[in-house]
Amino acid sequence: MSDLVSLTIDGKKVKARKGATIFELAKKININIPHLCYHESLSIYGACRLCVVEIEGRPRLEPSCATIAEEGMVVRTNTARIRRARKMNVELLLANHPEDCFTCDRNQICELRKLSFDLGIRELRFEKGRKYSYSIDDSSPSIIRDPNKCILCSRCIRVCSEIQSVSVIDFVNRGGRTQVLTFLNKGLNNVECTNCGQCILACPTGALREKTVIDEVWEAISNPKRFVVVQTAPAVRATIGEEFGMPAGSLVTGKMAAALRRLGFDKIFDTQFGADLTIVEEAHELVERIKTKGVLPMITSCSPGWIKYIEHFFPECLEYLSSCKSPQQMFGAVAKTYYAKKIGCKPEDMYVVSIMPCTAKKFEARRPEMKDSGIQDVDAVLTTREAARMIKEAGIDFINLADEGFDEPLGISTGAAAIFGATGGVMEAALRTAYEVVTGKTLEKIEFDIVRGMEGLKKASITLNGLELKLAVAHGLSNARILLEEIQKGKSPYHFIEIMACPGGCLGGGGQPMPTNLEVRNARAGAIYREDEAKPIRKSHENPAIIALYKEFLDKPLGEKSHHLLHTSYTKRKRY
């Protein structure tokens, strides 16, 4: 029996594997069927009814995303009846949607607005006015939910449940009163939300957005009493260009530094310095645990969304986490102690701004543990999108900027730090250092290709001084759950595990440009690896600024001062 079926779509003969949907097949022959509830990474919902098609012999219009191709089908995707139905559905959505497009965060990238234009809707036949008005949930330090802009497509619900295994939002009520809410409408800050922001990337409208601190940062820059420094995460240089019309995968490190200098920051530094520092501490911690038969597997602690996830869902496994702070927080602590003293600046007069691909970093910066400099180590966190908005506000011609470099010493970094932005990057960077710390030998091949790639869960092993070191890399919290459940059952074979909350790692963070899909994530990863290859130094422990930091201030990895400034503890959080 053949595994293929033959059918006709808009007059074109198509062969397809059994089980393929009409939507998938239409896309393969360059027919883009309008849709809102469909998302390539999520289960089929089939509620928006914008992707309807006509199938010969069937009286009803069928949703192409949920209709399986059958032998001999004759499908039409663009008839007068279909166009009328699609317009009607969008007009009904618009009749119940706020009219604040000019001031909405999703202006120009709203899927509902684009669809209404593409479908030729130039006037609304239905009386405007919402039947119900709902309060905005701004309880979270990272994410704002506006139920009034929600079109009930369920994409946020599905990404939270299926990709992240968190499930803090769902439909409540029925009919016209249906909403997407948290448990008992407590607000995102009072449930198990990890602040990862994947719901923002999934949302087709402005119903979800990051909580912005742009005004606070402008105020700090304008305050002559403030010494304002900025740090930029590894992934941002591979993505911020998209906000200015550049293709995914554009590496704009020099333009980014130049733009930030024009915004008025006093010093332009790099979170990659913090990443190198993290690796030196983390690699030594791993080696120490192995040598002393400490708690294994050791799990990375760079992703704040992942940290909050384990605190809520697997608090009994907190001992497996590396005690290292994230690069963002290590940078803040060092900036307000070592660097502040170096330049004669009071820590309270220094204002540290982070530009991150991640909405959860906003939450992390406010954690009470992150005050080892004596005050809050990182004062404000901007997403990639927010940083781009500031550059646009300032009228800076980003694309035509000449490349500039970071300031020293906290702007010096290695290739190992650059790859932090991609899934598997922290693991690879740590292995580059751990191998040489343990063996005393120079790595012949820098790249550890075995931990690269976009598979949700990767397993590998390397030999280190006769020990077979078993490794695992997971991205997306549903994949993290698999590894944690193994640990719970006492069946984990691993020594070292890297976990990132977001699909693709930081390249797919909740604060990144839209759209962020698999194709885009792969292009961004290519840029990150190009940055690594172009660096003259590609191992964290060889960073001269890191070497100087230990010599002048920290003394040694895992030393007393390092422990105080660069390491942290975690919190057992309740389930709601």
Interval 426-455: pLDDT, tens: 999 999 999 999 999 999 899 999 999 999
Q: Which domain holds residue 139?
A: 105-210
- Residue that is last in its domain, among 78, 96, 119: 78
CATH number at residue 528: 3.40.50.1780
CA–CA gap between residue 49 and residue 88 (Å, rounded) = 10
Residue 284 included in any domain: yes
557 has pLDDT over 80: yes
Element (H, E) at 151: none
| 486-505 residue pLDDT tens | 999 999 999 999 999 999 99
| Contact status, residue 295 vs residue 289, Cβ threshold 8 Å | yes
Let me know if residue 229 belongs to a domain.
Answer: yes
Model pLDDT, residue 253:
98
- Give the mean model confidence (pLDDT) for residues 299-313: 98
Helices 271-291 and 327-334, packing angle to 10 deg: 110
Give 353 or 99, the one with higher predicted confidence. 353
Kindly report the CATH number assigned to the domain that includes residue 177: 3.30.70.20
Residues 19/67, Cβ–Cβ less than 8 Å: no
Indicate if 275 and 243 belong to the same structural domain.
yes
Q: Is residue 219 part of a domain?
A: no
pLDDT higher than threshold 70 for residue 224: yes
Query: Within this chain, do residues 17 and 57 fall inside the same structural domain, yes or no?
Result: yes
Amino acid at residue number 318: L
In terms of domains, do 44 and 143 share one?
Answer: no
Q: Are residues 145 and 60 in the same domain?
A: no
* Residue 478: pLDDT over 80: yes
How many structural domains compose the chain? 3
Q: Is residue 575 part of a domain?
A: no
Q: Is residue 89 part of a domain?
A: no
Q: What confidence score (pLDDT) does residue 1 get?
A: 52
Asked if residue 447 and residue 375 are part of one domain, the reply reads yes
Is the domain of 320 the same as that of 282? Answer: yes
pLDDT value for 130 = 62
Using a pLDDT cut of 90, give the percent of the chain over it: 94
- Do 410 and 459 fall into the same domain? yes
Are 418 and 530 members of one domain? yes
Average pLDDT of 301-314?
98
**Which pLDDT band, with edges at 50, 70 and 90, does 362 fall under?**
very high
pLDDT confidence bin for 280, thresholds 50/70/90 = very high
Residue 125: per-residue pLDDT = 85
Whether 205 and 235 map to the same domain: the answer is: no
Confidence bin at 176 (pLDDT 50/70/90):
confident
Q: Are residue 374 and residue 450 in the same domain, yes or no?
A: yes
* pLDDT above 80: residue 335: yes
Amino acid identity for residue 407 in this structure: D
Identify whether residues 263 and 191 lie together within a single domain: no
> Is residue 201 exposed (0-12), middle (13-18) or buried (19+ Cβ within 10 Å)?
buried
> Please, which pLDDT band fits residue 159 given cuts at 50, 70 and 90?
very high
pLDDT of amino acid 465: 84
* pLDDT recorded at residue 533: 97
61 lies in some domain: yes
Average pLDDT, the chain: 96
Indicate whether 99 belongs to any domain. no
Kindly state the average pLDDT of the residues 534-554: 97
Average pLDDT (207-223) is 98
Q: What is the pLDDT of residue 129?
A: 64
pLDDT digits (tens, 9 = 90+) for 89-140: 999 999 989 989 999 999 999 999 999 999 999 988 887 766 678 999 999 9
With cut-offs at 50, 70 and 90, classify the pLDDT of residue 32.
very high
| Cα separation of the two ends of the chain | 51
Same domain, yes or no, for 294 and 371?
A: yes
Q: Could you count the other beta carbons within 10 Å of the beta carbon of residue 196? A: 35
DSSP state of 81: H
Give the C-alpha separation, 159 to 307, whole Å. Answer: 18
**Residue at 366 is within a domain:** yes
6 closest CA partner among 57, 72, 68, 77: 72
Find the CATH number of the domain harbouring 48. 3.10.20.740
Q: Annotated catalytic sites, by residue? A: 282, 285, 302, 322, 361, 364, 369, 506
